[in-house]
Chains A and B, each alone.
Chain A
Amino acid sequence: MIRKGSRILDAKDAEDSPARQGERRGIDYLLNASMKVARTDTPAEHDVNSILQDSKQGLRVLRRLLAKPVAGALSLEGRIQ
C-alpha cells in the first residue's frame, strides 16, 4: 500500500514506447489519488536497463536520469475524471 501523498518517480520507457497510453492512465490514476508523480526523461529507444548496459557510462547516466525527473501532469482525460 502506497501512502497518501507519496512522491512517486515513474522510471518510464522512452516516449515512443507502445505502452505510452497505459502509462498515461496510470499517472492520471496516481495524481487523482493525491500522489505526487514525476517521470524520468528517458531517451528515445531506451529504458533504464538498456542505459545500465553501457559498461562505461551506464551507472552514471542512470543516476543522472533519476536525479532529473520532470513533473507528471494530468492528461485531458484525467482532468475530466
Chain B
Amino acid sequence: MNRLSLEEGRRARTWNLEIAAVILADVAYQDLGHDRRWEGLGGFAVDRRDGAWWCFGTEEGGYSALKLVRFLLKNSSWSDSESWLRAFLTQHAGVGPCNTDVGDDDETETRVRISAYKARQIRDAAGPIDGTDGEQYLRSRALPPPYPLELRWLPDARTGEGAIVVDLVASGRPVAILCTYVDALAKKSAHRPSRRRFNLEPGHPGAVILIAEREPGSVDQTTDVVVVEGLENGLSIARVKQPGWAVLALPGINALAHLEVER
C-alpha cells in the first residue's frame, strides 16, 4: 500500500479534529481555549485551529493524521491505520475544519509540548549531512562544504522531503531547531512552509543560527555583527567573513526585532 502523498497528508491533517471525534465518539470532551480535550485519555487534546495533537500522559503528539489514527486505535499496525484513514478521507471530501495557519511562535501549552517533542525527535533522528541531498542542495546554492557550524540531515522530515537541521541559540544554549526542507531532487521545497522552527523551550523569539563567532582579539574597522535571514544567506556571508565579524542568521525576519541585546 502506498503512503499518503504530501498533499493527501495535509488534507488529512485538516480533519484531525473530526477523526478524533469519530474514534472517540463515546468519550466526553471539553473545549479549552484553542484545544479540544477528551477525558480519561491522559490529557489528550487536538488544537482546533490546525489539528496539532498531543497526549500529556504518553508525551506523544504531532501533526500527522496517520499517527493520530494509529495512536487512537491503540497502536494498531501502520497498514490498518492507513486503511482506516483512507476510508475516512473517501467519506470526507475537501478540506476539514482544522485549516488555520498557526505560527511557530504560538505558545499555548499544547503547542509548546508538541514543538519540544518534535524538536527532540528530530535532533535524535538527524545525522551527518555529508553525502546527502542536503549537501547536494547546498552545493547547488554555491555552498560546498566545509561548513562553519554543525549541519545535520533528517532524511524523512515530511513526505518525500528531507530537511537540513540546525540549532537556534539564545542565552548561550540551543533553544530550538530550524528545519530547511529539501525535496527528492535536492532542491528547496516548493511546499510551504519551506522552513520550520521547533522550540526545545518556549520564550526565545530572538534565537538565531550562530553561523560564526568573532575571532578572539579581532576588531573590524566598521562592523561587529553581520545579521542575515536564512541559513543559505548566513553560509554565504561566512564565505567572505572578516575575523572581527560575528555572523548571525535569523530563522525569519521577525526575529530581528527580538535579538538579545545588552541594554
A1 x B260 contact (CB < 8 A): yes
Please name all residues of chain A whose beta carbon is closer than 8 Å to the beta carbon of B257 when the two chains form the complex: 22, 25-26, 28-29
Chain B residues, CB < 8 A from A34: 263
B237 at the interface (CB under 8 A from A): yes
A42 to chain B, nearest CB (A): 10
If over half of B's interface residues share one DSSP class (helix, strand or loop), that class is named, otherwise mixed; here it is mixed
Task: List the B side residues contacting A25 at CB < 8 Å.
Answer: 254, 256-257
B143 to chain A, nearest CB (A): 8
Known: A29-B257, A53-B142. A62 touches B236 (CB 8 A): yes
The yes or no answer to A74 lying at the interface (CB within 8 A) is no
Q: What bracket does the count of chain A residues touching chain B fall in? A: 35 or more
Q: Which of A51-65 contact B (CB under 8 A)?
A: 51-53, 55, 58-59, 62-63
- State the CA gap A49–B141 with chains docked (Å): 7
User: Of B143, B224, B253, B263, which one neighbours A33 at CB under 8 angstroms?
Assistant: B263
- A47 to B233 alpha-carbon distance, docked (Å): 7
Closest 8 CB pairs of A and B: A26-B256, A19-B253, A22-B253, A29-B257, A26-B257, A4-B262, A11-B228, A6-B224
| B residues lining the A interface (CB < 8 Å) | 141-143, 171-172, 222-230, 232-233, 235-237, 239-240, 252-263
A interface with B by C-beta (< 8 Å): 1-4, 6-13, 19, 22-23, 25-30, 33-35, 38, 47-49, 51-53, 55, 58-59, 62-63, 66, 69
5 residue pairs of the A-B complex, CB under 8 angstroms, read: A22-B254, A23-B256, A33-B263, A52-B141, A66-B240
